[in-house]
Amino acid sequence: RRNHNNNTLDAAYCCVCILFNKQKGSNATFQREGFRDWKNAVGEKRGIISNHGNTPGHKAASELAENFLCVCKGQQKDIHSVISKTYSDKVQTNRNILSSILDIILNLGKRNVALRGNWDEEAHEEDGNFKHFVKWKSKFDDTLKLHLETTARNATYMSPSIQNELIACCGAEIQDKIVQKIKKSKYFSVLADETADVGGTEQLSICIRYVSEVFEIQEDFLGFCPLDKQDAASITHAILSQLEKWGLPVAFLRGQGYDGASTMSGRLGGVQQKIRELQPRALFTHCRSHALNLVVVHGCTDVPIVRNTMTMIEKIAVFFSASATKKNMLQDHVLQDQGERTRGGIPLMSDTRWGSRIKTVGAFVSKLRPIYTALQETESDGTRLHSEKASRLRNSIESFDTIVTAVTIHKVLGYILPLTTRLQSPDVDILSAYKEGREVAQVIESLRSEESFSTIYQQAVQMASTIDVAPVKKRVTVKQQHRGNAPADSVAEHYRLNLFLPFIDHVTEELRTRFAESSEPALVAALLVPKALPQLTEEKQNLLLSWYKEDLPQPDAAEQEIHRWKHHFKKYTGPLPETAKETLQNIDMGFYPNIQCILCIYLTLPVTTCSCERSFSALRRLKTWLRSSMGNERLSGLALIHKHQLSWVPPWIIFSSKSKLRP
């Protein structure tokens, strides 16, 4: 029974029809106008109210009302809930399928394994690693197995386009995570270097250096950018476009790190100058590792006898690396001579990594006798071509020039090897790099003594005796162009004057020139480190504050803050921090916000571009001649997965990125 009467309006209405009757053509009297014909309200013939209860519209509305009340009481689920549950189950199933596929892509990407492969003629389908592991995983994943067996061929989520989208989403999420950390740091420096990949495309690697929230120095690779041109304007545009794409404003750019090529480092039209026109405080740093490489290159080429010996050692390394037979022969002779079989022969020299040069020279010095006997064996038992090469190389080794020069190179350049290893770490700050370079120069210069040369010379004589080579000097001529010719009374004096001293002088001069103390105002920040604080004069303090004034959170209180800083460390009883990083991590910087800001920007200044070089190593592993047609978006995505290992991005975030990519 339903209450149709409304005493206030003196009319009758039908509640269920008002709320639930949706049929067109239904009598509007009981819904909107109200029934007032009381004479015909009831009765067998004219009972309009009772007749209304039998109309289809009223019956349908009553049924809907009953269902509504049951749903409200929890006695049953409405149809929308049933449909929504089915939809949710379908979404979750699809996500589980995508998670399985994504897991395979990520693991192949982390291990740098190609996803695609050759075309299988018999099966008429691609036979790649990705499809192989999807089928393998379906043996243990019932949801994935059902998906592969029942879904249409165009909806398997395994096509190259879906692969590319998932890889791009993974790369974008990695970039977003890194960019978020950079933005928290606020200030950053850009590192860039270029190289040609196996497909002939010039790839610009871009890394960002910044200081994390816990004051750790980070250098993160953000991607490759293909270059159509290699001029300064094109490279500048590429760098600025990428920074804008990632949401990193040039206003917070404080450093640039490139190699010494004129296109990058030119003072008039180089990339660094073009960017400094937009942001004058973005200081340029010539990669210190590249500068150290130039020290060795020039040191080894400016002295003729050193240059000739390095060339000869390189030829020997190439000779034994050219075939497995000669390499095994050398290892056999090393086993006979030294009682152990080394894993490798003589490492090849690299044009860009000078550390390989000292390793090659070191291998030559330590394996001189096995190398000599292996050349003798090749000369007597090898083919005509190999015998001739072995004979020429053996004759070169039998020269005392070669032996004493190799020992000298190994001794002198050995002092530089730890420096180049240290410079590859992001933890080094710019002033420490300059300081270490000058200290190495001082150590090498200290070798200019009779005692040091005597030690080197005696070692060379002892080595020469193992292959029956006597210490003799070349004849002196009136005019000599290709080797030193300073007059000397003895063999030892000849090599001291024409080899030892010139080589040391060239190396120390190169080190002092390329690691000279910089006068940039930004580097005065290093004097805020407690160990160096006494060197912070009033003049340098004013220079420091004028340079960093626009970056300080409280510039008006900066002078007083530095005064408090000095006073604090006058009474400080603990060990004084010696680096900017150590200072930030061990001192409560909450009382010194301006000094914290200055030290963070100082640590942001680039030292080397080794992070870019490491990305080139990943590039060579990724884009091989078998994968030379790989697109750049796929390349950057795989490089980011491979470099950063993607262990901290959950799948649901990647699915969210994919939904943005394909709404």
Q: Which residue has the tokens 């209450």?
A: 3
Angle, helices 304-321/324-338, rounded to nearest 10 degrees: 110
pLDDT of residue 474: 64
Residue for token digits 């740093």? 285
* pLDDT given at position 358: 84
pLDDT given at position 487: 56
212-219 average pLDDT score: 93
**What pLDDT, on a 0 to 100 scale, did the predictor assign at position 483?**
56
The pLDDT score that the predictor gives to residue 1 is 44
Give pLDDT, residue 113. Answer: 87
pLDDT tens-place string over residues 305-345: 999 999 999 999 999 888 888 888 888 888 888 777 666 67
Residue 658 has pLDDT above 60, yes or no: no
Average pLDDT on 286-292 reads: 91
With 0-12 CB in 10 A as exposed, 13-18 as middle and 19+ as buried, what is 35? buried
Average pLDDT over residues 579-592: 88
Of 73 and 496, the structure prediction assigns the larger pLDDT to 496
**Better-predicted residue by pLDDT, 205 or 111:** 205
Q: Which of 358, 370, 284 is nearest to 606 (CA)?
A: 284
Q: Are 641 and 107 in contact (CB under 8 A)?
A: no
Q: For 31-48, write each residue's pLDDT tens digit.
A: 777 788 777 777 766 777
Maximum Cα–Cα distance across the chain: 147
List, for residues 419-456, the tens digit of each pLDDT value. Answer: 988 998 899 999 899 999 999 999 999 999 999 999 99
Q: Which of 120-124, 208-212, 420-424, 467-471 is least confident?
A: 120-124
Neighbours of 403 (CB within 10 A): 26
- Under 8 Å CB-to-CB from 366, ≥6 apart: which residues? none
- Percent of the chain having pLDDT more than 90? 43
A 10 A CB-CB count for 252 gives: 20
Any idea where the domains of the chain sit in the sequence?
5-72, 80-158, 166-287+607-661, 292-514, 522-604
- Sort strands 283-286 and 253-258 into parallel, antiparallel or unpaired: parallel
Helix pair 538-548, 593-604: axis angle to 10 deg: 80
Cα 632 to Cα 177: distance, rounded to the nearest angstrom: 21
Q: What's the pLDDT score for residue 119?
A: 62
Measure the CA dihedral 617/618/621/622, to 10°: -140
344-403 tens-digit pLDDT: 678 887 766 667 788 889 889 999 999 999 999 888 876 777 888 889 999 999 999 999
Tell me what the pLDDT averaged over the chain comes to: 86
pTM above 0.85, yes or no: no
Over residues 89-114, mean pLDDT: 86
